[in-house]
Structure 1
Amino acid sequence: MHRPAWVVMTYIVLLLLAVATALPNFLPLSVRSSLPDWATSQTVSLGLDLQGGAHLLLAVNREDLARSRLQELRETLATEMSTRNLSPGAIRTEGQALSAPADDALFSTLQDVAAATALPGGPADFTVDLSDGVLRLVLTEAGLDRAATTAADSSLEVIRHRVDQVGVSEPVISRVGDDRILVQMPGVENPGQLRELLGSTAKMSFQMVAPGPGPGVTMLEMRDGSGSVPVEDRVALSGDRLDRAAAAFDPDSGRPMVTFAFDRQGGTTFAEITAANIGQRFAVVLDGEVLTAPVIQTAISGGQGQITGEFTAEQAQTLAVLLTSGALPASLSVIEERSVGAALGADSIKAGLIAGAVGLALVVAMMVGLYGGWGLLASAVLALNVMLTLTVLGLLGATLTLPGIAGIILCLGIAVDSNILIFSRIREETVKGASAVMALIQGYARAWSTILDANITTLLAMVLLFMFGAGAIRGFAVTMTIGILVSMFTAVVLMRMMMEALVRRRRRIPMAIAPLIGRVPLPSTFSFMRRGRLALAISATLSLGAVGALVVPGPNLGIDFTGGVQMVMRSDAPIPLAELRAALAAEVPGDASLQAFGDPTEALIRVQGEAGQATVAAVEAAAAQVVPGTIFDQIDLVGPTVSGELATTGLIALSLAVLAMLTYIWVRFEWHFAVGAIAVLFLDITKTFGVIAVTGWEVNLTTIVALLTLIGYSVNDKVVVYDRIREHLRSGGGNEPLAVVIDRSLNQVLGRCIFTSATTLAALLPMAIWGGPAVAGFAWPMIAGVLIATGSSLFVSGPVLAWLAGRTPRVHPLQQAG
């Protein structure tokens, strides 16, 4: 048991470095900014939900892309038909296909054009077919996929340029999948401007205004809503020739405007157009809308001009950025938006710190009450656990999110499970008469297998959460994974090293006289198996009732799974909910719900179903009518595509988690144990779902996180029970009735199950009460699940295992005392 001095010193130095690295995270920003860079270089970055900012997921609009590709194909076909004296007017559009009269020569030419678009061994962008003198060109899905991928690649640079023009610090802009772009911008105060900035295609053109409607003329709406203008389809000058643009103020009227300048070629063309069309109207068109259509008074040389209109200063600035950064190669749709105001982020940090401090205090109080001095030592190691977790997060460059704070708090409760297992084993060895040294050695040796199995099950759930989660959910998985690994290190290495030092000095381990645990009889004599059938019947009945609750009243699905918009608004004065509800009914398409959100000056607005940027704008307009100066602290927009994907990935993650647990327990134990654990887990999950449905708690991504965490916790609990049963069977208990072995094992782990659940609940309860709505949505299902899992571990897991093993439970003599 003796450790070399250099090993001890190495651990001490590493711990001191970890503490020094983690401490700046707890300092106020004003103090931290005065420290040298090397002292704060490894501090943990805060996520958007804590520091405020916006998260947008953009997707290439495949419908617009198909229309654009079809238009390009139409122009190619028209050109080829014109060279053969065929009328392009005969071209017809049918969905994603074109048809026109043609001959074999035209058919052969277009086949060559199609073949040129194909990659080696791959399909072309379109197919060509000639039947009865009618040529059909049909866009292929493979071609659209390639076009979407290319458009996303090209859009990345345009978006980066636009974001750079705004001046946001440390933005994250990256590709997600083949045709999506993720943009995260910390500290953004106006998500509406960001939405317009990134979602606008910004295809600008200069076109002549026609005398009236007719062939080759399209009626385009004025952006200010003043009417429509007949604009020639022919583009006189493309916006690609713009060199720069800037927001300015009209010196005559003082109104905001946008000045622009063309490159050399564009300036020459602009001068020629204006010289040839004096007295005619010239339309400036942006994304199919007319910004302005002034009359050309004189030829304009120098390649400069200005755009005036009913602009605000902010709109002029946004337009200038769009024109300067260039047009997107394809339109992008905002399919997911999540923004948090800086004030709400600060409130979240405060709530998380309060919940963490109270949770830590409760866990420490319980550990000291249960184990006295050893509990106090374990609590000190728990503080080191938090420091090491923050250090590792900082070194990995990970981002701490609000779910991540919940993960750290939860780890406080789970981390002591290893200590409880070790203390229980040491106590058993002490009661058997082992010396302090031998009790310590045997206690750790017997607890190690259970600690390993129990923590791996939770780690498996976190790995799946990371694989199928996104954003803050991944942050939770990373934080929990680091916390679990650190807790194993602190319990098995650091705690043991400290206990060994104390044992050598005191020559004893007084576990048997700890304040509370010393009063618990060892072993207890409660009969679980005699009540097994009743417990199993009650559990199955409750699970059936829970399944019924999933039908009536059914789960309260949030926008993560139904799609829609959820917005938290705040004002200086109390919000008149009745007036706001009427305004929402008049302005917002769809069914908008409104409810108070804590303070009378805050309200929560939710629109479920088909919703997009127009819905967000309508909610903002309705709120501005009733409560001018309203601030939206949080905006969550989830499109139907994303909500469907979230529901699918959530179900996949839950299914794979169960499969991973089954496989691991099957490998580590026997099939009876694996199937038994999954059967009891199924009962646990269904009852937890039932509680969620009956209470009306919203089911969102946070709920999936809670369920995945609960799967790991529940199986962790069953592993502890089954590990003790397996130990007795291996040590000669196979000659006894299985009911006797199960009862003895359950009584031996009774204290551990109750105390671990109690410390976990002590960490979760402050989160539910003071952690804020987002964290409470995780904490309450976890609280329900922990209580359900603990009960099933003690009363249901044994009878299920006995039934699967094909043995009839018999009554042990000790049961008479139960």
Structure 2
Amino acid sequence: MNRFWIRAVTYGLVIVLGLGAALPSLLPPAWLSALPAAYQSHSLTLGLDLQGGSHLLLKVDTDDLTRGKSGREKAEIRDDAVARSLEVVRRRLNETGVVEPLIVRQGDDGIVVQLPGVTDPERIKTLLGRTAKLSFHLLAEPGTPARRLPASEGDRVYPLKPLPLLDGGNLEDARLGFEPRTGQPVVNFQLDDEGARKFAEITTHHVGDPFAVVLDGKVITAPVIRSPITAGRGQISGGFDAREAGDLALLLRAGALPTPLEVVEQRTVGPDLGGDQIRMGVATGLIGAALVLAFMVLAYRRWGLIANTALVINLGLVIGLLASLGATLTLPGIAGLILSVGMAVDANILINERIREEARRGRSGQGALRAGFQRAYATILDSNITTLIAVGLLFQFGAGPVRGFAVTMAVGLVVSLFTSISVTRLLMEWRLRGRTRGTLTLPGPDWLGAERRRRPIRFMAVRGRGIVLSLVLSVASLGALAWPGLNTGIDFQGGVAMEVHTPATIDTLRSGLAASGLEGSLQRFGDDGQYLLRLPAGADSDARIEAAKAALSAVSPEAGFPRLDVVGPSVSGGFVETSILAVLLAGAGMLVYLRLRFAPHFAWAALITLGLDLSKTLGFLVLTGLEFNLTTVAALLTLIGYSVNDKVVVFDRMRENRALDPERPLEDIIDLSLTQTLRRTLFTSLTTFLAILPMGLAGGPAVASFALPVLFGIVVGTSSSMFIAAPMAMFLERWFSPEGPAAREPASLESGSGYL
């Protein structure tokens, strides 16, 4: 078996395994039910924004535990408290019967809880927010040291002996029960052996004394000990209803938290809205993919079919790999999947254009194929690594669905390296088998007149005007950031965002809110009958949410509330810091990598141009009034990778042409390089634009803050690659030259010619 068939068999096995892993995620439910249960479970998990449910971010308050501590000891105490809190939260949620909750640690003192299908998490929040520290105290005698604690109901205050005689650590079980004489709900508890022995000693020596049961610093009952209790069983009563008694029993069974938990972020999506977002994401994704595939066939005919085959395989392998990794697919994840398809086309276009160039130089079919892949390989690797730097930072500093976007993009980029370099090459070699002689002609229309052009386009003739225009637009954009400024969402300013669906008019809803005395803003959001209510941040968010729902339901009984986001001020401040840090680190990461791969002037030119691109995109956000949120940060980091990706291709060609003809004037080198890469630059930008366009037009407000900035950034990044980055590299090269800025005076553009 020759090398070709060995590769064919190897790649075929990888593809079959990958597509097999993707199949459960793609089959209709009726077909999937006929497959083995283990295979059915090997499918993508839908995020809460697609299936409905609630996302809670809990902060573990360790201030009291670590007060007075420092250094390593403080970190160990905090880590231990978070670890124990995680276990208690897990036990409490398991007791509630929530199906497949996700409970993970986030950062130093955060716990993320995701609850599929739970669209009213108030009871869960109450259960998780209670410390549930149980202790038993004797009442203090008058004139003795006492710890004064209030009753859980009423105004009575109990003087208790400071040290508890028993605590919840000795509790073995607790269950809801009913007092036989009164029928009132109670909590029946069972102590372990040590606790039973202590309880027997206490009740034996204190018959006739009041014995207080304290939960979270409040006395819930203080009965008088009538006789010794030796069986280790007891009863807690306190005027509970059945649900309160059941929840208390649940908390006692799950154990006490080592320190209080605070809900600092909440996001809830109803199942109907989640279903709509699935349909929207799938529809816009299919339309975007169809546009890309159609363009490739139109541009490269039968060679485009080869690229499309690799793209379809790429999409299947990405889904299969995500399913194998146990990844969760979110709405931003769908956007990342669509974008990764658009960006995967870049490698295929680059390869086709390189093969076209080599064939035009008279190489045979196989020779053009080999040379084209060899010349394209380094550029493909550079462009993918630069994008992965941005995506990696997005995963590191992102939260929730944004991390899902980062995972999807990263997997898509890695898989595209395999499909574009290995699978595409194998298919092309199979197409050319037997053609050892004769030149190769890639079919397709010569839209840019490249076949007839004998001289480069004079891009450098307008370099001054291009740089001045770019600077003016960037300065204007920075001015717009100062005033009127970005329309920041609750991710960055904190507060409550509630989506309201109702046929009532906005004036009717505003009158209802005004009558209730609530301060907030109500605006239209999406289609007719959809509104977004924003309430300021505060400690009483839950009360204001319920008041807002009541006020809106009073004027419009049919009102629905399919989505609710609550972000505390501490979380929003953290989002601001991490977002700025992520963008700065992305720029620094790009600079370091480009510095390793290129000369200093190339790296700095890319970074400066990137700053100009980002400033214009921020100006676009101000001009359009789009909400600036975490999804927008994902868009900006994506644009950082995309913009640098585009410039790497141009710089790589400039470096290559410089090596081939060192004596050629730099302006000519730049014009030649831009002309040679023009088709690739425009084709790549167009395919990525087409992939995202349906989501930008029909995706709705949920993804508008991602899709629209990306669409704008593609246009800005493409134009800056041609008119800003290359001239900037030339200026910086002269500036860094030992002879100073005046070195290397420009020679005539007539001194050379090149073919596209």
Output the TM-score relative to the length of structure 2: 0.87
> How far off its partner does 1:599 sit?
5.2
Secondary structure in structure 2 of the residue aligned to 1:185 = strand
Distance 1:201 1:372 in 2: 67
Distance 1:621 1:299 in 2: 49
Q: Does 1:796 align with 2:727?
A: no
2:483 pairs with 552, 556, 561, which one? Answer: 552
> How far off its partner does 1:199 sit?
1.2
Cα separation, partners in 2 of 1:451 and 1:265, compared to 1, 3 Å: same
Cα separation, partners in 2 of 1:749 and 1:665, compared to 1, 3 Å: same
**Partners of 1:207 and 1:231 within 8 A in 2:** no
Deviations for 1:574-606, whole angstroms, at most 9, x for unmatched residues? 3565565466567788x5333344356654332
How many residues end up aligned between the 2 structures?
A: 730
2:112 pairs with 167, 178, 182, which one? Answer: 182
Distance 1:814 1:709 in 2: 40
Secondary structure in structure 2 of the residue aligned to 1:741 = helix
Distance 1:712 1:434 in 2: 34
> How far off its partner does 1:771 sit?
3.0
Distance 2:372 2:473 in 1: 38
Distance 1:53 1:407 in 2: 22
**Partners of 1:583 and 1:623 within 8 A in 2:** no
Q: Does 1:672 align with 2:598?
A: no
Cα separation, partners in 2 of 1:727 and 1:143, compared to 1, 3 Å: closer
Cα separation, partners in 2 of 1:15 and 1:152, compared to 1, 3 Å: closer
Secondary structure in structure 1 of the residue aligned to 2:257 = coil
Q: Does 1:230 align with 2:157?
A: yes
User: Which residue identity is paired with 2:692?
Assistant: L
**Percent identical across equivalent pairs?**
43
**Partners of 1:369 and 1:516 within 8 A in 2:** no
> Could you say which residue in structure 2 is the equivalent of 1:616?
542
Distance 1:712 1:588 in 2: 47
**Partners of 1:580 and 1:623 within 8 A in 2:** no
> Could you say which residue in structure 2 is the equivalent of 1:708?
637
Deviations for 1:706-760, whole angstroms, at most 9, x for unmatched residues? 111111110111111111111111111x322211221121111111111111100
Distance 2:99 2:236 in 1: 30
Cα separation, partners in 2 of 1:374 and 1:608, compared to 1, 3 Å: farther
2:208 pairs with 260, 271, 276, which one? Answer: 276
> Could you say which residue in structure 2 is the equivalent of 1:641?
570
Distance 2:279 2:205 in 1: 62
Distance 1:252 1:815 in 2: 105
1:493 pairs with 407, 410, 422, which one? Answer: 422
1:165 pairs with 86, 95, 105, which one? Answer: 95
Distance 1:636 1:588 in 2: 21
**Partners of 2:208 and 2:226 within 8 A in 1:** no
Q: Does 1:57 align with 2:20?
A: no
**Partners of 1:50 and 1:402 within 8 A in 2:** yes
**Partners of 1:706 and 1:782 within 8 A in 2:** yes
Structure 2: gaps of 5 or more residues: 735-743
> Could you say which residue in structure 2 is the equivalent of 1:784?
712
> Could you say which residue in structure 1 is the equivalent of 2:691?
763
**Partners of 1:624 and 1:630 within 8 A in 2:** no
> How far off its partner does 1:237 sit?
6.7
> Could you say which residue in structure 2 is the equivalent of 1:114?
none
Q: 655-664 or 764-773: which moved more?
A: 764-773
Correspondences of 1:378-397 after superposition (within 5 Å):
378-397=307-326
Q: Does 1:436 align with 2:368?
A: no
**Partners of 1:363 and 1:762 within 8 A in 2:** yes
Deviations for 1:220-258, whole angstroms, at most 9, x for unmatched residues? 3655xxx52222244777562554333457889988x34
Q: 44-53 or 493-502: which moved more?
A: 44-53
Distance 2:41 2:319 in 1: 13
Cα separation, partners in 2 of 1:151 and 1:513, compared to 1, 3 Å: closer
Cα separation, partners in 2 of 1:383 and 1:617, compared to 1, 3 Å: farther
**Partners of 1:453 and 1:719 within 8 A in 2:** yes
> How far off its partner does 1:395 sit?
2.4
> How far off its partner does 1:216 sit?
4.7
Cα separation, partners in 2 of 1:360 and 1:213, compared to 1, 3 Å: farther
Structure 1: gaps of 5 or more residues: 67-95, 97-125, 127-138
Taking only aligned residues, the RMSD between alpha carbons, in angstroms, comes to 3.5
Distance 1:254 1:31 in 2: 52
Secondary structure in structure 1 of the residue aligned to 2:175 = strand
Q: Does 1:369 align with 2:298?
A: yes
Secondary structure in structure 2 of the residue aligned to 1:799 = helix
Correspondences of 1:504-543 after superposition (within 5 Å):
504=433, 511-515=441-445, 517=447, 520-523=450-453, 525-543=456-474
Cα separation, partners in 2 of 1:542 and 1:625, compared to 1, 3 Å: closer
Distance 2:266 2:123 in 1: 13
> Could you say which residue in structure 2 is the equivalent of 1:110?
none
**Partners of 1:565 and 1:616 within 8 A in 2:** no
Secondary structure in structure 2 of the residue aligned to 1:606 = strand
Q: 579-588 or 715-724: which moved more?
A: 579-588
Q: 553-562 or 35-44: which moved more?
A: 35-44
> Could you say which residue in structure 2 is the equivalent of 1:79?
none
Distance 2:449 2:305 in 1: 18
Distance 1:316 1:64 in 2: 29
> How far off its partner does 1:359 sit?
0.7
User: Which residue identity is paired with 2:483?
Assistant: V
> How far off its partner does 1:632 sit?
4.5
User: Which residue identity is paired with 1:705?
Assistant: A
**Partners of 1:354 and 1:770 within 8 A in 2:** no
Cα separation, partners in 2 of 1:487 and 1:217, compared to 1, 3 Å: closer
Cα separation, partners in 2 of 1:368 and 1:773, compared to 1, 3 Å: same
Distance 2:187 2:274 in 1: 38
